[in-house]
Structure 1
């Protein structure tokens, strides 16, 4: 029994620091991606959400999930920290490009979100999630 506990302890001592490093790295990438998303969108998410704007909350939530999906795929398939960083940054850039293109294609996007248009926010979330799933699939494939 002592051997079992010694083995478990050794496994935790060697694996836990790596797990924490990779997890924290991915959390930092998620925060970076979310911050950049809020910089490139043509409206102020924080202000609109504070005012109770559901469309802005939905759009930001969709962005968070759509950034997280390829980051999770990167985290699950790479065991080297530098690979997680590199592919994580690429995943974020793809998602930011997606939202940039979507805001250009949807005329009046800013005013629609500011007016609380949930339909356009839902379409944006759908586009972001679709690209996120393809992005994640490409990264693991």
Structure 2
């Protein structure tokens, strides 16, 4: 009987965790979209691969941070707090990259479909997310 209780608790935790994760991803998508000067939904819907790669990288980075938080802590509050920090950090990555590369306007290039830039940003975002995530472990 105890195994059913633990299985039930585990399934409940997975369900709660997924609900929180989806909420975090929705908030992250919204915040990340506010930062770009193009319409993310329209660009992705029209098949702009660069926009899809870039947004996907930001959401993947957020998932990496959330995953590492959930691995090191069993607190839903910690997950929410560090997810907010993750969103801020990933926004800063964009801002800093844009400032350090004044000749390359990130939003303009992504809107034009510059896949090379999207790939570069994806690598930076995923790398930063792993580093931030390890700080939490």
Indicate the TM-score class for this superposition, using the shorter chain for normalisation. Answer: 0.7 to 0.9
Give 4+ residue runs of structure 1 displaced > 4 Å after superposition.
Answer: none
Distance of 1:127 and 1:14 partners within structure 2: 37
Counterpart CA distance in 1 for 2:66 and 2:39 is 25
TM-score scaled by length of structure 2: 0.87
Q: CA deviation at 1:116?
A: 1.1
1:51 maps to what in 2? 46
Unaligned runs of 5+ in 2: none
Number of the residue aligned with 1:96: 91
Q: Map 1:1-141; keep pairs closer than 5 Å.
A: 6-106=1-101, 107-140=104-137
Over aligned residue pairs, what C-alpha RMSD do you find? Answer: 1.6
> How many corresponding residue pairs?
135
SS for the counterpart of 2:74 is coil
Larger Rg: 1 or 2?
A: 1
TM-score by structure 1 length?
0.85
Retained in 2: the 8 A contact 1:67–1:91? Answer: yes
